[in-house]
């Protein structure tokens, strides 16, 4: 499964991927993180553009702070465009703790792995908060 990493979570994603690898999950669970840059997205891309690109490319958006502020906010986009076949958006509840709290980070890793392993349970769910 490919996760599109929100522009402000690149460092978080490196740490999470390191934990996923050190726990041995990459040997059995295909997880890859891609950045906005790799996908040709500007960091100021609207949430609508980001969500549509993720859905088009069968990627799960990994974010921490996209909310409902305007007509192109992530929450509004999901309300308007989510279908029963849409991949969820995974939102880290407390991104700072990923960097500072190894237990919280491992809980996030466990949830990410669970989501990938049981993706069928999450299709159409709109947003999944982790840990």
Residue with tokens 């986009």: 77
Over residues 30-72, the pLDDT tens digits come to 999 999 999 999 999 999 999 999 999 999 999 997 656 778 8
Q: Token pair for residue 73?
A: 């906010």
pLDDT in tens, 13-37: 999 999 999 999 999 999 999 999 9
Length of the chain: 131
Helices (H), 23-131: 47-56, 74-81, 95-100, 102-117
* Joined tokens for residue 6: 């929100």
Question: Which of 35-49, 60-74, 81-95, 111-125 shows the lowest per-residue confidence on average (mean pLDDT)?
Answer: 60-74
Considering only the top CATH level, what class is 2-130?
Answer: alpha beta
Is the pLDDT at 110 greater than 90? The verdict is yes
Concatenated DSSP letters of 14-54: HHHHHHHHHTTGGGTS--EEEETTTTT--TT--HHHHHHHH
């Amino acid at each position: 499964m490919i996760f599109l990493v929100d522009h402000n979570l690149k460092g978080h994603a490196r740490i999470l991927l390191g934990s996923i690898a050190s726990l041995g999950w990459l040997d059995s669970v295909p997880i890859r993180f891609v950045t906005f840059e790799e996908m040709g997205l500007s960091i100021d891309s609207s949430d609508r553009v980001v969500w549509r690109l993720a859905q088009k490319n069968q990627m799960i958006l990994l974010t921490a702070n996209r909310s409902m502020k305007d007509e192109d906010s992530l929450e509004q986009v999901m309300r308007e465009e989510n279908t029963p076949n849409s991949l969820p958006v995974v939102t880290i509840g407390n991104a700072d703790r990923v960097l500072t709290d190894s237990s919280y980070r491992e809980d996030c890793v466990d949830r990410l792995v669970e989501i990938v392993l049981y993706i069928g349970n999450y299709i159409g769910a709109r947003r999944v908060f982790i840990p």
